[in-house]
Structure 1
Amino acid sequence: MGPDLTLVHIINDMAGKNSVLDTTMIFAAQYLICIFAIYLADTWFAKNKYRQEALFAGYAALLGLGINLISLNSIFTRDPLWFPQGRYLSRMPPSHPFHLTMLL
């Protein structure tokens, strides 16, 4: 078993044992990317001293998404999240698996 599957099992074993952790993970999976994008846009349009940092953070986010897209299309690995191996905290279509991209 690879380290990615081990990490999935560790996180999945914690599901359902702590309601605060479950709620936090569901919130992060559903809304954190949108909140980050809104925060960057607000920082950019506010024209404060952190405007350049917001631009660089936006570039870094786009670069990370691009690298992720290239690596997903060029390197095939069996994604453990496509196969039902544990408990799900929220209902989502099987075509949209939860990836741990934010940990990178």
Structure 2
Amino acid sequence: MSASAGSPGGAARSLRSLRDLYDQAVELPAEERERFVAALESAGSSHCAQLRRLLAAADPSAESPLDDDPWARVEEEEGPEPVPERIGPYRILSE
């Protein structure tokens, strides 16, 4: 009995194949990666869309919302907070 992609063995093989393709693609210079994936696509590989997403996620030059400092935007809009006159029982004498 052979394992299909829907079976646990077939899914594991498919994942290993995708991992192997990713490992090959990530070693290539960035400008050659799309050609690599396009060649796989023309050969009928079913992993092309997943591979493109993995490569895009691994691209260090890609911008991510996690790279932004959310507090920087608030400080730009409002400016720095003024120093309070008191902090608890302590009175602030100077900045």
What TM-score, normalized to structure 2?
0.26
The structure where helix makes up a greater share of residues is 1
Q: Which has the higher contact order (CA 8 A, sep 6+)?
A: 1
What TM-score, normalized to structure 1?
0.25
The structure where strand makes up a greater share of residues is 2
User: Which structure has the greater CA radius of gyration?
Assistant: 2
